[in-house]
Amino acid sequence: MGVEGVWWFFKVEESDWTEIKSEFDRAVVGVGSLPEVQPFLLRPVALPVTPKYAEAVAGVLAGAELGERLFYRPFHELAFKILIEKPDWESDERLVELALQSRVLPTVVLMTGIDRKRFAQLPGYLGNMLLHPQEVASALELVSHTLDVDWQSYSTKAKCTLDYGGPPGSDFDRDADADVAQILHVLPNALQQVKNDGAGLLVLSSWGFPDTDTPQNCDPVAESDDIEFF
């Protein structure tokens, strides 16, 4: 079975800044450059999802391969560490936004939809970022400009990475449109929220969710070492 790709958006208060900055700086060490985005096959007009659907669109789900190259484990580990050691960060007060997709990272959906050049203009590394409260306003302006894209072009390309879909106008197609729209808007929405609160923002990608019942003296990512993309 596959696992969900998750994009986390945490509000960072000034009192947390020094600790989180230190953790984030350690995670950044060794991070690579953005991978190239190969052209995706457009999703064929097909019947709604059935047990045989994945076979019917063989080759369309290339987003998993791109996800392996866009994924950087230290950011995944930091997300899990925070959620296990700081359970209050899962509250609505601290987790200001969340995007997830089955078997594909939301960052893959976004980068495929807007193209690699635009994605590279976003702050941070591979869709992961830490912004001080004083950086949020300028980041919001930059992100809003970068993500001001043609909807039809974006949605057509972004939906190629999803593991479901259907004929244009079907319920499955409308659900796919809603998902890729949410991914397009989640970062500026999070930035606007923390700007209103005078706080910073921590953005991290992970595969799946941590076991928050794991004792704090245990390895928070021990059960996620073998990530299964499909």
Task: Let me know if residue 228 belongs to a domain.
Answer: no
Q: Residue 142 sits in which domain range?
A: 4-206
Q: Which has more pLDDT, 166 or 207?
A: 207
Q: Is 55 exposed, middle or buried (0-12, 13-18, 19+ CB in 10 A)?
A: exposed
Task: Determine phi and psi for 204, rounding to 5 degrees.
Answer: -140, 150
Judge whether residue 216 has pLDDT over 60: no
Which residue type, as a one-letter code, is found at position 127?
G
Helix (H), strand (E) at residue 222: none
Question: Smallest Cα–Cα separation from 183: which of 63, 99, 84, 92?
Answer: 99
Judge contact between 117 and 36, C-beta under 8 A.
no
Task: Let me know if residue 225 belongs to a domain.
Answer: no
Task: Let me know if residue 224 belongs to a domain.
Answer: no
pLDDT of residue 164: 75
Task: Work out how many domains the chain is built from and give that number.
Answer: 1
pLDDT in tens, 67-87: 788 899 999 999 999 999 999
CA distance 203 to 124: 9
pLDDT in tens, 175-206: 999 999 999 999 999 999 999 999 999 999 99
Task: Let me know if residue 82 belongs to a domain.
Answer: yes
Judge contact between 40 and 62, C-beta under 8 A.
yes
Contacts of 165 (CB under 8 A, 6+ apart): 43, 46, 57, 159, 172, 173, 176
Residue listed under structure tokens 């635009």: 118
Across 12-25, b (16+ Cβ under 10 Å) vs e yields: beeebbeebeebbe
Task: Let me know if residue 197 belongs to a domain.
Answer: yes
Task: Let me know if residue 227 belongs to a domain.
Answer: no
| Strand, helix or coil for residue 220 | coil
pLDDT in tens, 90-141: 999 999 999 999 888 999 999 999 999 999 999 999 999 999 999 999 999 9
Judge contact between 157 and 113, C-beta under 8 A.
yes
Task: Let me know if residue 230 belongs to a domain.
Answer: no
